[in-house]
Structure 1
């Protein structure tokens, strides 16, 4: 199996969610199922069926997170030498050469991507255009609206 790159923060979030599911959600739904069973006839017991459905969701999510963590290659860029090169996990400041607009993105794993928070997936077109380039380089990014040139003004290991 191929390892999947993940930031330290991304791994922490998954571990926290896993602990919440195992330590809080799972016991709560097991109690809800036990209570619903005490109400008798299970065929027409909506609480029982809802709790069972929720249990299925929780168990599925636990398996999904455990699988992701087992495949994760956690990369901590704060411990890597700063070379000015764009690699997984760095935060890049870019200048759009068409309109001089500045943008800032952190390159993260697919599950961590959140464009509103400035986190872009390593597999996104913009990240693929940036990886391997250095501060001062210009990257050509193909977007649905056409090609955009970005100058890499800064690469940070945060």
Structure 2
């Protein structure tokens, strides 16, 4: 079974989405399908086909979330030994050694990643290059524009 690392917040968000899909979206889509069926000929009924397509997307997302929750490995960084190393769930402040530009990222699971809000996937090149390093260490990260060197300025747990 594949394991999906996620923070407690990411796990709660997936559970909330699953509840929304099962208790609100699924019944609404079922009602839309029933209503569209009442309009007669299903071959040329665009509402029916749109509702069926929406139902397919909804059911696929439900299966996807259930699989991820079933294989969830919830990791709370606040409970980890705080040795100052970059691990899953921490927030890390890094400085580009060429431009001296600082960036802050929280390392999270794939479903939680949102680059614009500073959350990067544990499987991203940046996170993979930082994992295991400590404050003051340098990391060489392969980016689309070439290798970039960063210095780890701060590691925050929790």
**TM-score, normalization by structure 2:** 0.93
1:6 corresponding residue in structure 2: 6
Q: Which moved more, 1:129-138 or 1:31-40?
A: 31-40
* Cα distance per residue 1:4-45 (max 9 Å; x no partner): 211112111111111111010000111111122222222222
Query: Where does 1:80-95 land on structure 2 (aligned, <5 Å)?
Result: 80-95=80-95
State how far apart, in whole Å, the 1-side matches of 2:91 and 2:123 are: 15
State how far apart, in whole Å, the 2-side matches of 1:65 and 1:117 are: 22
Unmatched 5+ stretches in structure 1 = none
How many angstroms does 1:62 deviate by?
0.5
How many angstroms does 1:109 deviate by?
1.4
Greater than 4 Å deviation, 4+ residue runs: none
* Cα distance per residue 1:113-145 (max 9 Å; x no partner): 211111111111211111111111111112222
Q: Which moved more, 1:134-143 or 1:87-96?
A: 134-143
1:156 corresponding residue in structure 2: 156
1:58 corresponding residue in structure 2: 58
State how far apart, in whole Å, the 2-side matches of 1:49 and 1:146 are: 47
1:133 corresponding residue in structure 2: 133
Q: Please, what is the CA RMSD of the aligned residues?
A: 1.3
Partner SS state of residue 153, structure 1: strand
2:144 corresponding residue in structure 1: 144
How many angstroms does 1:94 deviate by?
0.7
How many angstroms does 1:111 deviate by?
2.2
State how far apart, in whole Å, the 1-side matches of 2:14 and 2:62 are: 10
Query: Where does 1:28-67 land on structure 2 (aligned, <5 Å)?
Result: 28-67=28-67
1:68 corresponding residue in structure 2: 68
* Cα distance per residue 1:60-110 (max 9 Å; x no partner): 111111111112111110222321110011000011111111110011112
